[in-house]
Chains A and B, each alone.
Chain A
């Protein structure tokens, strides 16, 4: 083969051996450090406990699965975001999970197939994606979620949304709002109106942009009134509900709309103070959802905190709904981590004192060498050096004063 200078690759510094700084990690991967790593783990724990309070039991699928099971059926939407590797044992392709929901669905459809429905499961774990985006560059991040499998009831949709909102509020997420969607509604309407492929593509683009004028032009011959009403319904739920409730829609799109309206009504009763918006035409970012879906936002925070909605679980297509919270965005929406109460124990502090403090919820930081055991003044300095808020002196934890400089 004639050699040709390689042209297409972006110019990057050559990776000469020994020249890569040993702190450099691949793009989108991070070390979690104190106090953030602890903070994240504590939040995950509280979320899972909150879900348990609603009767959701935790499951733990593996990090890697066979490609066919991970990406089969509804998982196809995740195919181009999934890392693959070869299994030297079975000589089959495996995928690293890029999302956990469909793993939970697989567990429900197989190993838990005999457990009576509805089945309530929760999970937390890291996912890996082949590429980050400009907005969320993380390729590895933690997902925490819950799935309600085996019920098609509209009360199941409401339960999931109420639980998601309640857990986030309990964590202190401010200005929470939930956007309700029906990603397949516009698709169903377009199909029933019989647009050709080219028209469908153009209409889809206009709908995604929320370009009302372009939508009106493309739907002038059919469906104009319906699409205009769906577009106008975007916004606060109280207003949007009225706009779409009375709308004359063909059968399958109408059923989806009825469902959306019922969920709005149920939420209005179950969580009357939750800020609710609806957007019946939103379609982007829902990889496998089919029915009523939702995104969770916090005002002033970039991107959404989580997504969820209806999907068909497993090969049998069992009715299911659930949601996933993205810990990378969540941490941006939550109050910053605090280091908590750390007390410095000078050498010679009785073991019982340390035990009692730990039982009271303190973190104790013990001096390790007797050389550390200097005068009282130096204990304070040592406590400060080890980032302790308090020092143990005369049988009490005393606040370490900030060094005046």
Chain B
């Protein structure tokens, strides 16, 4: 039972982590020193709360951990949560950090002659096959997705496909690769995510943490 009793908070590696950590600290969770040591190979970290453990995993894995209840709480972009689209995850709080957008882009030279109303089938490179398929299906277009894990902007240039769906923050990477954003699918921010069974079986404890994160987000 002991293993089930500690609350596990999953945090995503990378860009979003730097923006999220001040908030986690404001909510009163301070990880052990190894967390900030770039050379540490540790995966799981103790905190100043005996019953709270932090795990640091890849951003998509945050969704997997919290969906399966391996993590009770997590911070993840709503891009990840939308891609999972499972009733096992609640996302009660928008933390208002890590702003960017999920968008469709295509080569600049295509834009003038492209008429989206004529589309029936598209081939799209993306990290988000579920979101992409759903987005286009909703307007009667089948999207055949080529799943890539990075360097999406290369795909059109090398002839893998002509369009991509990716996160866009400033638009600079798109521009450098001759791509133009033609459609916005969603605005993205970091969210607090909660496993459903965890909220149902430990309502007071998890509810209290949601409240603390809410205060921390508003104090920003």
Q: Does chain A bind chain B?
A: yes
Does residue A284 face the partner (Cβ distance < 8 Å to B)? Answer: yes
List of A residues within 8 angstroms of B4 by Cβ: 299-300
- Taking a contact as CB atoms under 8 Å apart, the answer to whether A135 and B93 are in contact is no
Stretch among B38-46, B54-62, B176-184, B200-208 lining the A interface: B200-208
Query: 1/0 per position for B89-108, CB-CB distance to A under 8 A?
Result: 01111100000000000000
List of A residues within 8 angstroms of B207 by Cβ: 235
CB of A387 to closest CB in B, whole Å: 30
Instruction: Report how far A189 CA is from B144 CA in the complex, Å.
Output: 39
List of B residues within 8 angstroms of A179 by Cβ: 200
List of B residues within 8 angstroms of A235 by Cβ: 203-204, 207
List of B residues within 8 angstroms of A210 by Cβ: 90-92, 194
- Taking a contact as CB atoms under 8 Å apart, the answer to whether B201 and A211 are in contact is no
- Taking a contact as CB atoms under 8 Å apart, the answer to whether A7 and B201 are in contact is no
- Taking a contact as CB atoms under 8 Å apart, the answer to whether B91 and A134 are in contact is no
Which of B88, B90, B203, B214 sits near A303, CB closer than 8 Å?
Answer: B88
Does residue B173 face the partner (Cβ distance < 8 Å to A)? Answer: no
Which of A8, A177, A213, A279 sits near B201, CB closer than 8 Å?
Answer: A177
Does residue B67 face the partner (Cβ distance < 8 Å to A)? Answer: yes
- Taking a contact as CB atoms under 8 Å apart, the answer to whether B144 and A299 are in contact is no
Does residue B148 face the partner (Cβ distance < 8 Å to A)? Answer: no
- Taking a contact as CB atoms under 8 Å apart, the answer to whether B88 and A135 are in contact is yes
List of A residues within 8 angstroms of B94 by Cβ: 211, 213-214
- Nearest residue (CB) in A for B96 is A213
Query: 1/0 per position for B1-32, CB-CB distance to A under 8 A?
Result: 10010000000000000000000000000000
Does residue B48 face the partner (Cβ distance < 8 Å to A)? Answer: no
Instruction: Report how far A8 CA is from B194 CA in the complex, Å.
Output: 34
Query: 1/0 per position for A294-310, CB-CB distance to B under 8 A?
Result: 01011111111000000
Query: 1/0 per position for A175-186, CB-CB distance to B under 8 A?
Result: 101010000000
Which of A134, A211, A212, A304 sits near B86, CB closer than 8 Å?
Answer: A134
Which of A277, A279, A284, A300 sits near B87, CB closer than 8 Å?
Answer: A284
Instruction: Report how far A133 CA is from B67 CA in the complex, Å.
Output: 11
Interface residues on chain A, number (Cβ under 8 Å): 32
List of B residues within 8 angstroms of A284 by Cβ: 87
List of A residues within 8 angstroms of B202 by Cβ: 299
CB of A326 to closest CB in B, whole Å: 13
Does residue B160 face the partner (Cβ distance < 8 Å to A)? Answer: no
Does residue A341 face the partner (Cβ distance < 8 Å to B)? Answer: no
Instruction: Report how far A386 CA is from B15 CA in the complex, Å.
Output: 58
Q: Tell which of A208, A209, A235 has the most Cβ of chain B within 10 Å.
A: A209
CB of B116 to closest CB in A, whole Å: 20
Query: 1/0 per position for A211-222, CB-CB distance to B under 8 A?
Result: 111100000000
Does residue A236 face the partner (Cβ distance < 8 Å to B)? Answer: yes
List of A residues within 8 angstroms of B88 by Cβ: 135, 303
Query: 1/0 per position for B110-122, CB-CB distance to A under 8 A?
Result: 0000000000000
Does residue B137 face the partner (Cβ distance < 8 Å to A)? Answer: no
List of B residues within 8 angstroms of A17 by Cβ: none
Does residue A285 face the partner (Cβ distance < 8 Å to B)? Answer: yes
- Taking a contact as CB atoms under 8 Å apart, the answer to whether B86 and A133 are in contact is yes
Interface residues on chain B, number (Cβ under 8 Å): 25
Q: 8 Å CB contacts to A: which residues of B57-93?
A: 67-69, 86-88, 90-93
- Taking a contact as CB atoms under 8 Å apart, the answer to whether A211 and B200 are in contact is no
Query: Provided the pairs A135-B68, A213-B94, A235-B204 are in contact, do residues A302 and B86 lie with their beta carbons within 8 angstroms?
Result: no
CB of A64 to closest CB in B, whole Å: 29
Query: 1/0 per position for A196-211, CB-CB distance to B under 8 A?
Result: 0000000000001111
List of A residues within 8 angstroms of B69 by Cβ: 302-303
- Taking a contact as CB atoms under 8 Å apart, the answer to whether A302 and B68 are in contact is yes
Does residue B197 face the partner (Cβ distance < 8 Å to A)? Answer: yes
- Taking a contact as CB atoms under 8 Å apart, the answer to whether B203 and A236 are in contact is yes
- Taking a contact as CB atoms under 8 Å apart, the answer to whether A8 and B204 are in contact is no
List of A residues within 8 angstroms of B1 by Cβ: 300
Which of B93, B123, B197 sits near A304, CB closer than 8 Å?
Answer: B197
- Nearest residue (CB) in B for A279 is B200
- Nearest residue (CB) in A for B64 is A134
List of B residues within 8 angstroms of A277 by Cβ: 200, 203
Q: 8 Å CB contacts to B: which residues of A122-160?
A: 133-135
CB of A244 to closest CB in B, whole Å: 15
Instruction: Report how far A285 CA is from B86 CA in the complex, Å.
Output: 10
CB of A145 to closest CB in B, whole Å: 20
CB of B56 to closest CB in A, whole Å: 22
List of B residues within 8 angstroms of A279 by Cβ: 200
- Taking a contact as CB atoms under 8 Å apart, the answer to whether B86 and A213 are in contact is no
- Nearest residue (CB) in B for A299 is B201
List of B residues within 8 angstroms of A135 by Cβ: 67-68, 86, 88
CB of A168 to closest CB in B, whole Å: 14
- Taking a contact as CB atoms under 8 Å apart, the answer to whether B87 and A285 are in contact is yes
Query: Provided the pairs A235-B204, A236-B203 are in contact, do residues A303 and B197 lie with their beta carbons within 8 angstroms?
Result: yes
Q: Tell which of B86, B88, B203, B207 has the most Cβ of chain A within 10 Å.
A: B203
- Taking a contact as CB atoms under 8 Å apart, the answer to whether A297 and B86 are in contact is no
Query: Provided the pairs A8-B144, A235-B204 are in contact, do residues A211 and B197 lie with their beta carbons within 8 angstroms?
Result: no
Given contacts A208-B87, A214-B94, A275-B201, 16 further A-B pairs with CB under 8 A are A7-B123, A7-B144, A8-B142, A134-B67, A135-B67, A135-B86, A209-B90, A210-B91, A234-B203, A236-B204, A284-B87, A297-B200, A297-B201, A299-B202, A300-B201, A302-B69
Chain A to chain B: the 9 pairs with minimum beta-carbon distance, closest first: A300-B4, A284-B87, A299-B201, A235-B203, A210-B92, A210-B90, A302-B69, A209-B91, A179-B200
- Pairs across A and B, CB under 8 Å, 17 listed: A134-B67, A135-B86, A175-B201, A208-B87, A208-B90, A209-B91, A209-B92, A210-B90, A210-B91, A210-B92, A211-B93, A275-B201, A277-B203, A297-B197, A299-B202, A300-B201, A302-B68
